[in-house]
Structure 1
Amino acid sequence: MNNFAARLRAREHLVGYWVMLDAPPATERIARLGYDYVVLDAQHGLLSTRGILDGLMAIDAAAAGPVVDPSAGSGVRDATVGLVRVEANNATPIGRALDAGAAGVIVPLVDSGEDAARAVQAAKYPPSGIRSFGPARSGLRIGPVPAEADAATVVLAMIETAAGLTNVEEICATPGLDGIYVGPSDLCLAVGGKFPGDPEVRGEFDAAVVHIAEVAAAAGVAAGIHTNDGPTAKRRLTEGYTFATVSSDLDHLQGVAADHLAVVRG
């Protein structure tokens, strides 16, 4: 069994990547680079239910090959796992993602402890939750014993709204919740920004980011955040976050293509 869930719960530093495109061969290549996890975005990404399944299969297929990471050396490391940012805090998409073989779910728009508890209930089998038993593909690799599946999968609540920020303490105190995940674009709007990254609310945003990490540390749960690049991810890990995601395939594809075009026409 992969140790990802145990490492995340122990608040080890983990680094991930974000996938928005339904392109399994590209996802497989990314999963071979040495990231601890790859998130498939079912909320804002261009992925159908079949796309989520294919993406998770691509991530698992990458585990069969060598890690293409010059910094990894010759040491043994866990294979990259696939997480899914589900489209809503609802038992159906949460269960579907886990049945497809996700190692965990990131649940958006969690505003309260009650919302967080509902997400945990949807992700856990009875008696801990309400997840219906029908593991489909996940039974081949996570479980299929319900208690084993519960132990091997994680539930992460997004902190990205004004209400979520206000109630972050009760959210982090939710039994069974493994961690929280900051959505910086929406969080910036939540603190009064006119657009993501609005410099006029930089102080309020930075204070919120620090506060969220401190609350998670006090509660003993993992604290994650999305970032635009590697340097920012590294900085967030030094500031108290325990896992950080780097950019996305769509952003990197556009950025690299634009850089090459600029060189040719420069």
Structure 2
Amino acid sequence: MSADFAARMRAGGTAVGYWVVTDNPIATERVAMTGYDYIAVDMQHGLIGYQGMVHALLAISAANAPVGVVRVGENSVAAIGRALDSGASAVIVPLVNTAADAAAAVAATRYPPAGARSYGPMRSGLRIGPAPAEADASVLVLAMIETPQGLANLDEIAAVPGLDGLYVGPSDLTLALGGVTPTDPSVAMDFDAALRRVLAACRQHDLIPGIHSASGEIAQKRLADGFRFVSVASDLVHLEHAARHHLSIARSAS
């Protein structure tokens, strides 16, 4: 499944995913059965430890439809390797500021001689054959563009061999552009211009353009803009929204 997903995305496919930040594998399994193309497990800002990541990926596998993606906590061989060994089909790597950062992320997803990943596939070995080259081809790696330095080095990052895509973190990118808050409307024009730059870099280098979105409506807009790997909100945000919504309805009746 992961190899098919990687091939489809590299061939120009589109995927809409969901973001998980809580250590709740039963809920993750339920969400994974709703029709999303992937479920992303957030190991950078999510409230999830290593065992929670493994359980989340098991829950996603149990749903037998979407693939598991992990935003790793850091750009390191250890963090990326553990996510892939646990069964992730793709990794989103935060705080990629330079071409060297992007090259390090790519190397961490590839076995020697192509990269620096240590061989120990654990769960990923259940679906991927023992040949390292086969495993390499089944993994997607996306570099996050979310800092002033990353934006300044965008073209160099996009040109790194083996990189599959660029993934925009809207909150950090807004702050990087001078926003006072992660949703500051005063930098909206600069933000839109930055998104156009990311899309152009992806077109030039045949990369997958990805982005996070706060709602289905925003995800729809980003897909129309040309992004092809779009994540929606998060489980914790939607839990709070649903609770507030039902509470407001209940109280409005009195």
TM-score of the alignment, normalized to the shorter chain, above 0.5: yes
What are the residue-to-residue correspondences of 1:103-118 with 2, within 5 Å?
103-118=89-104
Q: Which consecutive residues of structure 1, in runs of 5 or more, have no partner in the other structure?
A: 64-78
**Shift >4 Å, 4+ stretches:** none
Give the Cα separation in 1 of the matches to 2:82 and 2:32. 22
Give the Cα separation in 1 of the matches to 2:24 and 2:151. 34
1:265 matched to 2:248? no
Give the Cα separation in 1 of the matches to 2:98 and 2:128. 29
Give the Cα separation in 1 of the matches to 2:89 and 2:129. 11
1:56 matched to 2:42? no
SS of 1:250 mapped into structure 2: helix
SS of 1:137 mapped into structure 2: helix
The alpha-carbon deviation at position 111 of structure 1 amounts to 0.4
1:124 matched to 2:110? yes
Structure that is richer in helix per residue: 2
1:136 matched to 2:122? yes
What are the residue-to-residue correspondences of 1:183-194 with 2, within 5 Å?
183-194=169-180
Q: Residue 38 of structure 1 aligns to which amino acid in structure 2? A: I
Are the counterparts in 2 of residues 159 and 183 from structure 1 also a CA contact under 8 Å?
yes
SS of 2:239 mapped into structure 1: helix
Per-residue CA distance 1:23-66 (angstroms, 9 max, x = gap): 00111111111111100000000110000000000000000xxx
Are the counterparts in 2 of residues 155 and 177 from structure 1 also a CA contact under 8 Å?
yes
Q: Residue 175 of structure 1 aligns to which amino acid in structure 2? A: P
Aligned to 1:162: 148
The alpha-carbon deviation at position 92 of structure 1 amounts to 0.4
Per-residue CA distance 1:222-258 (angstroms, 9 max, x = gap): 0000001111111111111111111000000000100
- Give 2:203's match in structure 1, choosing from 213, 217, 222: 217
**TM, length-normalised to structure 1:** 0.92
Give the Cα separation in 2 of the matches to 1:8 and 1:83. 13
Q: Give me the CA root mean square deviation.
A: 0.9
Per-residue CA distance 1:165-200 (angstroms, 9 max, x = gap): 111111111100010100000000000001101011
Q: How many residues align?
A: 251
Q: Residue 213 of structure 2 aligns to which amino acid in structure 1? A: T
The alpha-carbon deviation at position 144 of structure 1 amounts to 2.8
Q: Which consecutive residues of structure 2, in runs of 5 or more, have no partner in the other structure?
A: none
**TM, length-normalised to structure 2:** 0.97
Give the Cα separation in 1 of the matches to 2:160 and 2:209. 14
Give the Cα separation in 1 of the matches to 2:166 and 2:129. 24
Per-residue CA distance 1:84-136 (angstroms, 9 max, x = gap): 00000011010000000100110000001110000001110011101000111
Q: Residue 183 of structure 2 aligns to which amino acid in structure 1? A: G
1:45 matched to 2:46? yes
Are the counterparts in 2 of residues 95 and 132 from structure 1 also a CA contact under 8 Å?
yes
